[in-house]
Chains A and B, each alone.
Chain A
């Protein structure tokens, strides 16, 4: 009898060491900083931050005074924003998926576009537009009531709500895609009018609706971009900024920040728990091989005009107005009351030293982070899609819990954990270094990345790689020829999503950037807070252009360079 091939006989050393090494990385970059920081809230003595081994003082402190006000603000604002996101996202998704509304093909692109923008960018655009001495005043619109409206709770809810719309849209669109025509037909033939049929089938979308609300709430309560810009400048404190202030103010109070982190994490868990409870024991399985494709409702001319202009208005408010605010702000001088456009801010960007550097720096950080994260994310997705074991179960829980962890908590955990004396004793001196910032970027992007990739990787048949290896390819070649082509598209999209997220990332950058090496978001913030509005806005506009150019180049490059067979897999369904 011939012995089997060598690759069947023994697992290579890197495979045997891979899993422990992967877990070690996860523990170092996710588990250790976050767990240490959260434990700190109840046991400050453990980390030499106080005298008590166990105390609830800091949790109690977080529930009193200014932090309590900020927390209450965050809770109601997040509820309102999630609701607003659903109220806007649901009809837009319905109109785009189920009617002949003009321009429906562009809706999805617009939603993705707004997802790629960090929340602080539109907030700055709005701010620059409506603040005193802002664009609106300089073009002669002296409307203080608009300033008061936007620079306050209403503006915060509006911006966070608009931020939730793409999530609602994507959740509802996906559900509508699987909701065949037969449920509506069944209602109609059994006596329901069109409106009654609609009322009947909307509850079938309950999972999508709950999911939209939960994501909207979680995104809003953990948002730092709006909290640190519009809300802060409007004297409307939100919990994430208050947490940042607890560390950033002198003297810093890490235990209080940790106490606030507990409350933030709990707040994120509430809607997820409610969602699970609402859907428990029910099945909303509506897809089958025989699901009849839904028919688009043909809108009358008036209906089409109303629907089209409504959606156009929505995009105008979501992207157009802040975009106009940012672009026009970048074309105005910093002071004065006239509306004379100038390119002086852009000239300054290219002539004054230190203005382009942050953008270059962020670009490099984003490329490194996206590449490393996608690699680690793929490994994690691969492990998650395998047979369920205790280790994969733990990995699943760790990544899922990390998705729900607000970025600012992550950052605070990093500051605290990598500043511990034990780190110095172990010669791990990463605090206030670029390396720590990039590691934090990677760690915070990894959970989402792994979850995005797990869908594609789960669909991989093990036989793809096995077939390549059985026909003589080595492990790497088998993967490159048999597996990579199938997942190349989701990997490319995950890379781009991470790149855009990191390129203009704010909370981690704010907490962890190395002195003297500010990334783009910090440099922009600095310029704006030092009244260099024009240059700050020009930096913002240039940063967005760079991000979009990167998306265009990568997607265009994929289209041109990837073999035709790669592009066919996972492409849009035709017909």
Chain B
């Protein structure tokens, strides 16, 4: 049965370090949710996962799994008693055991007989398409096959919680995409709550029901993939989930509909909404404030016709054919460079182009939030 997870004010500092790996992290996950923790290296996502697993002890706060408190500053339930399973980054398949034995190991906690154990493991290997490889040792399997054995080991015990520690990071791009689909469908099939960590925003958005973004040990945003993408709470979240670029602008005033009028040298910018919305607090911007305009690749494109509104102009620095069109890198005089700008038609390097901004893909933050 899927387990709910509650994490309250969780803090963890590694011995010998003065900087906390996790600082007052709180989140609540409904049963059966696929949660992806997203963040760069050193953001604390692996530490959070290992605290959930019970591999690391917490300094303060509380973790509860399935309504049972498993970790506080005084109590620590060991990993084997938390009734969860895990897919490791390097798969951690025991090299002296066959694929079948590796998978069967996870069934032992259910105290089933040896024959039943083997039959169950074989059946699970069949589900991940590896029944004929059951007798092979890990070194006799390809990277993708090893990954599937690790997944089978995590799925077989039928635990309410599955933890995944960047399980796709060692695979090539093609296999990665196929395995992503397999993981997504298999864990949803068993109905377990899943906590999955990655630093790849595309992988996170493709897999998640909920995404938690971590920065320097803090959970800076928690919400649906759509919330995170369309309403990033901070410039960091916006940047980490994909930006074409950033512009420094000045707030000129507010329109009656609450939109913000901004100005930047050499640009004719449209009215924009201040960042915030579902899943993130609204930010306040006053006239005269310096602000950062974070532009998604979907928030800017090359103005096609003469009648189309033109907000920015720049020179094409690079043009890359992407099948459905072209992705341009454009130097904006005095404002740096935008990348991933979509153009339907071919342009040549050095060509002057006009750009149109889409307010839905633009997020306006006070300048003071820019560096955190």
Contacts and interface: CB of A to CB of B under 8 A. Distances in A.
A189 B139 contact: no
A185 B91 CA distance: 11
How many chain B residues sit at the interface, stated as a range, is 20 to 34
A445 B94 CA distance: 39
A291 B91 CA distance: 11
Interface in A179-221: 180-183, 185-194, 200-201, 203-204, 206
A191 B95 contact: no
B105 A190 contact: yes
A181 B153 CA distance: 18
Nearest to B109: A191
Contact of A191 (B92, B93, B106, B170): B106
A282 interface: yes
B55 A188 contact: yes
A521 to B, nearest CB: 44
A186 B153 CA distance: 10
A203 B96 contact: yes
Interface in B45-96: 50, 53-55, 78-80, 82, 84-86, 88-90, 92-96
A54 interface: no
Given A282-B137, A283-B139, A285-B139, A189 B108 contact: no
Interface in B284-308: none
B130 interface: no
Contacts of A192: 80, 105, 108
Contact of B95 (A187, A190, A284): A284
Contacts of A427: none
A183 B89 contact: no
A189 B89 CA distance: 14
A24 interface: no
B192 interface: no
B163 interface: yes
B78 A288 contact: no
Contacts of A467: none
B76 to A, nearest CB: 12
A204 B94 contact: yes
Contacts of A284: 95-96
B55 A189 contact: yes
B157 interface: yes
A343 interface: no
Interface centre among B55, B93, B109 (most CB of A within 10 A): B55
A201 B53 CA distance: 19
B50 to A, nearest CB: 8
A206 B92 contact: no
Nearest to B50: A185
Interface string A260-273: 00000000000000
A290 interface: yes
Contacts of B109: 190-191
B137 A283 contact: yes
9 closest A-B pairs by CB? A191-B109, A283-B139, A186-B92, A188-B79, A182-B92, A190-B106, A189-B86, A203-B96, A189-B79
19 contacts: A182-B92, A185-B50, A186-B94, A188-B55, A189-B55, A189-B80, A189-B85, A189-B86, A190-B157, A191-B109, A192-B105, A203-B94, A204-B95, A282-B95, A282-B137, A283-B138, A284-B95, A288-B90, A290-B89
Interface of B: 50, 53-55, 78-80, 82, 84-86, 88-90, 92-96, 105-106, 108-109, 137-140, 153, 157, 163, 170
Given A190-B86, A200-B105, A286-B95, 10 more contacts: A185-B86, A189-B85, A191-B109, A192-B105, A203-B94, A204-B95, A283-B139, A285-B95, A285-B139, A290-B90
